[in-house]
Chain A
Amino acid sequence: MLVQCTMDLLFYYRSLGLSLMIENFPAGDIAALVYLWNPLTIITCLGYSTSPIENLMIVLSLYGACRRLVRLAAFGWVMASHLSLYPVILIIPLVLLIGSGLDTPPRKLFLQPKHSDGYKKTSFSWRRVVLFFLWASAWALYVLLLCGISLKEYSGLGEMFKRTYGFILSVEDLSPNIGVLWYFFAEVFDFFRDFFLIVFHINILFMVLPLAIRLHHRPCFLAFVYIAISSILKSYPSVGDSALYLGLLGLFVNALADMQFSFFLFSGYLGTLLLSPVMNNLWIWRGTGNANFYFATAMAYACFQIILVVESVSSMLNHDRALKKGATTVAKKVQ
């Protein structure tokens, strides 16, 4: 429990550094407060889960990338991928952050040819990116070496990959959780099991490229969307993962102020998170309910998460559009 609290405090400290200074409050403060006071975070700590450690590693990598600390970013990324497989997709926002830096403005905004008021096109530093990859491979080799040494009596690294990443990817255990995959794989016919495994994991991978194309100028927001998607669609989700992206959502409050359905989403989250333990109790402990009750709350939770992601993406794009419109009118006025 003490470990979890220190992890949270470290997150707070790190996210303070991630402050995107815009208007009134530093967004980093808001993010840190949202994470610390989120009931989901508190529940994760009470449940002695290791999610806060994974969250810490993810935030470390983002912080390192924002501050151009290549070693720290590489360490965070390697450790986060080692602990749970899904942060591998964060390589793209990390590379973009390290290469271009935090305040990458949308390129199209400034494609106007003739204004030269000191805005120079930010260049993409390839040197830093190559350094990042070198450090990442160094950290990865180190971690694999340590794992290999400690597992020498237990039949080695191949067994470790099969039992950790293989287990995550093949969904062998069917215990109920707040995701939607457990019931699906308890009921799917064996003939189609492999097919659906591939489909569900590709759903995460497929969105990486379109999102990267559309949001490459906002790598922090891109990281947030990747984390949100992987925590909805991963094979064994938990509320600790949701706590992370809800905290990171706080970083973008000023940009996402006009998000539609925000109250609907808030009450939806609250409702499903309150109903879910009740349905679990009814099904497993009292025996008066059905598996469908609990699965329905899990599905509703997934739907609300999806709506949150989609709405945040579209409101961020609208915000960019508004910014661009404002900038072009300003540029025109200046001209």
Chain B
Amino acid sequence: MSRFLSISILLLFVLHVSSESAGEEEFTEELLFRPLPDRKVLSHFHFESRAPPTNSYGHHHRLFPKAIYQLVHKYRIKQMELSFTQGRWNYDSWGGFDPIASSNAKPPGVELWAVFGVPPDQVDASWKNLTHTLSGLFCASINFLESSTAYSAPDWSFRSLSGNLRYGSLPREAVCTENLTPWLKLLPCRDKSGLSSLMNRPSIYSGFYHSQRLHLTSDEFDPVALHGIMLEQTLTIVLQPDSLETHPSFSGSRKLQPSWSMSSLFGKTVDGKCALAKSSNVYVQLEGSLVYNMKNTWNSIDSYEGDSNFGFTVSPDRMMKEINSIDKEGYSILYGFSINNDHSSKPFDLGFWWKLPVTWSCVKAPLRVSRFLMGSGNEKGAIALSLQSTEWSQSLLKADNNGEKCNLRVDVFQLVPWYIKVYYHTTKIYVDGASQSLGDIIEKMSVSPSEDKVSPGVMEMILRLPCDMKSASLTLEFDKGFLHIDEYPPDANQGFDIPSAIISYPDFQTRLQYKLDTTSIKSPMVSKMQERRTILSYTEVLLVPLTTPDFSMPYNVITITCTVFALYFGSLLNALRRRVGEEERLRKSKDKSTGKLRLLLSKLSAKLRGKPWEPPSSTPPSSSSKFISTKVVIKIILIAAIAFGWQYYDG
């Protein structure tokens, strides 16, 4: 009996171990709230789904969406990111340095990039098919990225990926609930339970910024497949909570920040976690600068309660402090709340309320970038990229390099459509208003000039700017092209978009490391924040008006031009055709007015003019005229007979 028991225990153990080594599908859902300095609240949903490698786990999945699995296998995708964004990320007020801003501040419209594991000559075909598939999957017009005029292959300036990378962006794509619903369908619980049930459409789309992103990483096609496919879906929303209660006003001009709760932001509460999720957590992150400004009135930092500055309606389960903070002012704090299985009696409604007014500023990116157009008229213009130093970057840089000449490395990647014909030789750089020679500032530049109707213009540049500069600007001149009427969008007079340029700072890498307690649960979002990533900023989308032809006139133009050609053809042939004797014959035949009517008319005209009337000179060939007339009559009869016969036999 005991032997049997020990054998069964051993067997169970072996089975357990083997099942663990085969891997399991995992799904976790997380939500992060962060109060922003300008009285808004950032909400960041993070859903992560993992599928083990196919060769050990097989083709059938429980949690992982089949559409994505088939996508990865059909197009042999190694990495892919697709984002739908509406609104502009405010780098000044919402931050540009932390991991969430770097990975979730996206350009407006659709952005898609993908790395394929196919031979280089098949990458374009895979890209085309991928755009069509994604277009159908997400009900968006991503298929416009299929033509070679819309995408490019950046070499080295985009996220340090190389090889079979393709990048494309559609700035004018509008994002609506039609795109959100298929995105939510990829989640195991859809939007029925768990954190995704908070996604109330009117609340999301009334925000200042919302961006839904899908990031896919797979090593299925590597020689040794370890991790399988990892699908990360994030939704980042910036909302402004209504200030619900009136608070006593405080001294000076300081106003209390608005208090918010899940029900006030989204209008819904969480009834329970998604049953298929491994873990479901909510976090509230207070930035370093905020913690620093609150420190004076904070009684005990190590306790779970915020004390006299703010309060939660639900007490947090754990509190994590940031270690190795780059920010001089202080470390950020992360409060974690776990969501259990059943909240049907008391729904989980996290609320945050302020007790004392406090102001803080977020950590900005090293430079403030903006892009604008110069020039007037519809023939030429110039693109200008302006980089201004932020006070935060000044202090950071001075601390780093004291000895040798300090340089800030800035990578620029810009994609310009073919009808904006940029002249790259007219690049000018100004630092603090003074013109610089290009060799001083540009370390490396790679340009792929545009080709009419074939490919866009791609510019990748590494700039080395002095650390102590106040502002720098880069200008490029361009000519505007002229398009066929079919190539204009329906609202042609609005103009055409130049997609955002991507500015990255490879010198800096941002990460947020949190000291995890012993009771901490493994959180994918937090561990993702701990990875080093480069800082990215996106510039504005530029709107360029182009001259339009008159769209109402295709027929008129064609007929008028063909009339001119016919005029040329006919009159020149006529001039060439005239023979010597013909003019005399023509003149003679005019004098021959033998008809009675003509005689009468000439008599009348002579009487009116008061001249004596002369009878016209009679010239012989009346017989010839009669001959001609009989010939004509015979011809007419013949044609009529043919026509009659045709009608009779055919009709």
A residues less than 8 Å from B568 (CB atoms):
203, 232-233, 306, 309-310
Q: Is the CB of B557 within 8 A of A183?
A: yes
Q: Is the CB of B553 within 8 A of A176?
A: no
Q: Is the CB of A291 within 8 A of B547?
A: yes
A178 to B397, CA, bound (A): 57
**Cβ of A150 under 8 Å from chain B:** no
| Mask of B484-502 contacts with A, CB within 8 angstroms, 1/0 | 1110000000000000000
Size category of the A interface is 35 or more
Residue of B nearest to A181 (CB): B561
- Determine which of A175, A187, A199, A285 lies in contact with B553 in the assembled complex, contact meaning CB atoms within 8 Å: A187
A233 to B486, CA, bound (A): 25
Q: Is the CB of B379 within 8 A of A285?
A: yes
Q: Is the CB of B485 within 8 A of A187?
A: yes
**Cβ of B608 under 8 Å from chain A:** no
**Cβ of B649 under 8 Å from chain A:** no
Q: Is the CB of B564 within 8 A of A186?
A: no
Residue of B nearest to A184 (CB): B561
Given A291-B549, A313-B575, decide whether A172 and B484 contact each other with a Cβ distance below 8 A.
no
Q: Is the CB of A189 within 8 A of B578?
A: no
Closest chain B CB from A277 CB (angstroms): 13
B residues less than 8 Å from A292 (CB atoms):
550, 553
B residues less than 8 Å from A283 (CB atoms):
547
Which residues 207-238 of A have a CB within 8 angstroms of B?
207, 210-211, 214, 232-233
Given A187-B558, A292-B550, decide whether A303 and B378 contact each other with a Cβ distance below 8 A.
no
Q: Is the CB of B576 within 8 A of A291?
A: no
Q: Is the CB of B377 within 8 A of A172?
A: no
**Additional 6 contacts, C-beta under 8 A, given A183-B561, A317-B576:** A173-B452, A186-B549, A187-B554, A303-B564, A310-B572, A313-B575
A residues less than 8 Å from B548 (CB atoms):
291
**Cβ of A321 under 8 Å from chain B:** yes
**Cβ of A245 under 8 Å from chain B:** no
**Cβ of A200 under 8 Å from chain B:** yes
Given A172-B452, A299-B560, decide whether A317 and B482 contact each other with a Cβ distance below 8 A.
no
Q: Is the CB of B486 within 8 A of A200?
A: no
**Cβ of B646 under 8 Å from chain A:** no
Given A180-B561, A187-B553, decide whether A303 and B567 contact each other with a Cβ distance below 8 A.
yes
**Cβ of B601 under 8 Å from chain A:** no
A210 to B573, CA, bound (A): 8
A321 to B486, CA, bound (A): 53
B: which residues have CB within 8 A of A?
A: 376-379, 452-453, 481-486, 547-550, 553-554, 557-558, 560-561, 564-565, 567-569, 571-573, 575-576, 578, 580
Given A184-B561, A186-B549, decide whether A284 and B572 contact each other with a Cβ distance below 8 A.
no
Given A172-B453, A186-B485, A284-B378, decide whether A310 and B557 contact each other with a Cβ distance below 8 A.
no
B residues less than 8 Å from A180 (CB atoms):
561, 564
B residues less than 8 Å from A188 (CB atoms):
554, 557-558
- Determine which of A174, A284, A287 lies in contact with B483 in the assembled complex, contact meaning CB atoms within 8 Å: A174
Q: Is the CB of B549 within 8 A of A187?
A: yes
B residues less than 8 Å from A117 (CB atoms):
none
Given A186-B549, A299-B561, decide whether A313 and B572 contact each other with a Cβ distance below 8 A.
yes
**Cβ of A302 under 8 Å from chain B:** yes
B residues less than 8 Å from A189 (CB atoms):
554
- The 8 nearest A-B residue pairs measured at CB: A285-B377, A314-B575, A187-B554, A174-B482, A306-B568, A187-B557, A291-B549, A184-B561
A291 to B486, CA, bound (A): 16
| Mask of A184-198 contacts with B, CB within 8 angstroms, 1/0 | 111111100000000
Closest chain A CB from B149 CB (angstroms): 14
**Cβ of A77 under 8 Å from chain B:** no
Which residues 275-317 of A have a CB within 8 angstroms of B?
283-287, 290-292, 295, 299, 302-303, 306, 309-310, 313-314, 317
A292 to B557, CA, bound (A): 9
Q: Is the CB of A176 within 8 A of B561?
A: no
Q: Is the CB of B453 within 8 A of A310?
A: no
Most buried by A among B547, B561, B569, B576: B561
Q: Is the CB of A313 within 8 A of B484?
A: no
- Determine which of B377, B378, B554, B575 lies in contact with A310 in the assembled complex, contact meaning CB atoms within 8 Å: B575
Residue of B nearest to A292 (CB): B550
Closest chain A CB from B379 CB (angstroms): 5
- Determine which of A206, A295, A314, A321 lies in contact with B557 in the assembled complex, contact meaning CB atoms within 8 Å: A295
Closest chain A CB from B176 CB (angstroms): 32
Q: Is the CB of B564 within 8 A of A309?
A: no
A residues less than 8 Å from B573 (CB atoms):
210
A-B contact pairs, 23 of them (CB 8 A): A172-B453, A173-B481, A176-B482, A184-B558, A186-B549, A187-B554, A190-B486, A210-B576, A211-B576, A233-B568, A283-B547, A285-B378, A285-B379, A286-B377, A291-B547, A292-B550, A295-B557, A299-B560, A302-B564, A303-B564, A306-B567, A314-B575, A314-B578
Which residues 14-63 of A have a CB within 8 angstroms of B?
none
Closest chain A CB from B546 CB (angstroms): 10
A68 to B231, CA, bound (A): 81
A residues less than 8 Å from B578 (CB atoms):
314, 317
- Determine which of A172, A173, A290 lies in contact with B550 in the assembled complex, contact meaning CB atoms within 8 Å: A290
A226 to B282, CA, bound (A): 82
A185 to B562, CA, bound (A): 12
Q: Is the CB of B550 within 8 A of A175?
A: no
B residues less than 8 Å from A295 (CB atoms):
557
Closest chain A CB from B534 CB (angstroms): 36
B residues less than 8 Å from A232 (CB atoms):
568
A residues less than 8 Å from B567 (CB atoms):
303, 306
Residue of A nearest to B573 (CB): A210
B residues less than 8 Å from A174 (CB atoms):
482-484
A185 to B567, CA, bound (A): 19
A residues less than 8 Å from B575 (CB atoms):
310, 313-314, 317
Residue of A nearest to B555 (CB): A187
- Determine which of A186, A211, A214, A306 lies in contact with B482 in the assembled complex, contact meaning CB atoms within 8 Å: A186
B residues less than 8 Å from A206 (CB atoms):
569
Residue of B nearest to A180 (CB): B561
Q: Is the CB of A310 within 8 A of B379?
A: no
A residues less than 8 Å from B553 (CB atoms):
187, 292
A306 to B557, CA, bound (A): 19
Most buried by A among B483, B486, B568, B580: B568
Residue of B nearest to A174 (CB): B482
